[in-house]
Chain A
Amino acid sequence: EVQLVESGGGLVQPGESLRLSCAASGFTFSAHHMDWIRQAPGKGLEWVGRTRNIAHNYTTDYAASVKGRFTISRDDSKNSLYLEMNSLKTEDTAVYYCARNVGGSYWGGWIDPWGLGTLVTVSS
């Protein structure tokens, strides 16, 4: 069974940093691009960014709202995905989902499955 489990969420103050992790199992992690997507309380879905697979040199892309503040990385030997978040703002408050991208090409494809998510709250 494909499974994605996020961890590392919590309450932080504006300007602080936080690192989220995602443990993957049930599929060949190294073969897939992986995405982070977030959902503010009561709001819709916002794509945060992507790390591509080894065939695409682990390149990354980010949403404009987080570029320069967030960094996505992966450790294929540990089947793990990470999201390093710096200079956090109140508007970064959201549930953060780790998700597998299905497609394989450079531009990726649809998203399946999604983890259960981890809540990040940025507040003073």
Chain B
Amino acid sequence: DIVMTQSPELLAVSLGERATINCKSSQSVLYNFNNKNYLAWYQQKPGQPPKLLIYWASTRESGVPDRFSGSGSGTDFTLSISSLQAEDVAVYYCQQYYNLPVTFGQGTKLEIK
């Protein structure tokens, strides 16, 4: 199984500042034949199901604010929030869909400092 490891587990950022969450996979999730990284990011607010933010490591889902961006390739990925808003308080998960079983990172809880 591909193990997804996120860091940090808890992140406190001031409103308006940049938040950066890291995700590392135990093996590459880059498919050479199409040069795509099989990685997605989700946001989960308390009492709600996860919501898709990013797929193909850097493609923002329709309707997701452009302050959210994804980057990285191979085994190292980053989710960035350029200017933290109060409504961004949530737990964020990375997920690989390169092979089965689908696996998720353990989550990063983002709080306001």
> What residues make up the interface of A, taking CB atoms closer than 8 Å to B?
35, 44-47, 50, 61, 63-64, 97, 102-103, 107-117
Contacts and interface: CB of A to CB of B under 8 A. Distances in A.
A110 B40 CA distance: 6
Contacts of B95: 45, 110-111
B65 interface: no
B10 interface: no
B68 interface: no
Interface of B: 38, 40, 42, 48-52, 55, 61, 93, 95, 97-107
9 contacts: A45-B93, A45-B95, A45-B104, A47-B104, A108-B97, A109-B38, A110-B55, A112-B52, A116-B48
B102 to A, nearest CB: 4
Contact of A35 (B98, B102, B106): B102
B50 A114 contact: yes
A107 B99 contact: yes
A45 B44 CA distance: 10
B97 to A, nearest CB: 6
Nearest to A6: B49
A111 B93 CA distance: 12
Given A109-B55, A110-B52, A114-B50, A61 B100 contact: yes
Nearest to B31: A107
A111 B40 contact: yes
Nearest to A115: B49
Given A44-B107, A64-B101, A109-B97, 11 more contacts: A45-B42, A45-B107, A97-B49, A102-B55, A107-B97, A107-B98, A108-B97, A111-B102, A112-B52, A112-B55, A113-B49
Contact of B93 (A44, A103, A107, A112): A44
A61 B102 CA distance: 10
A115 B103 CA distance: 19
Given A35-B102, A61-B100, A110-B40, A45 B50 contact: yes
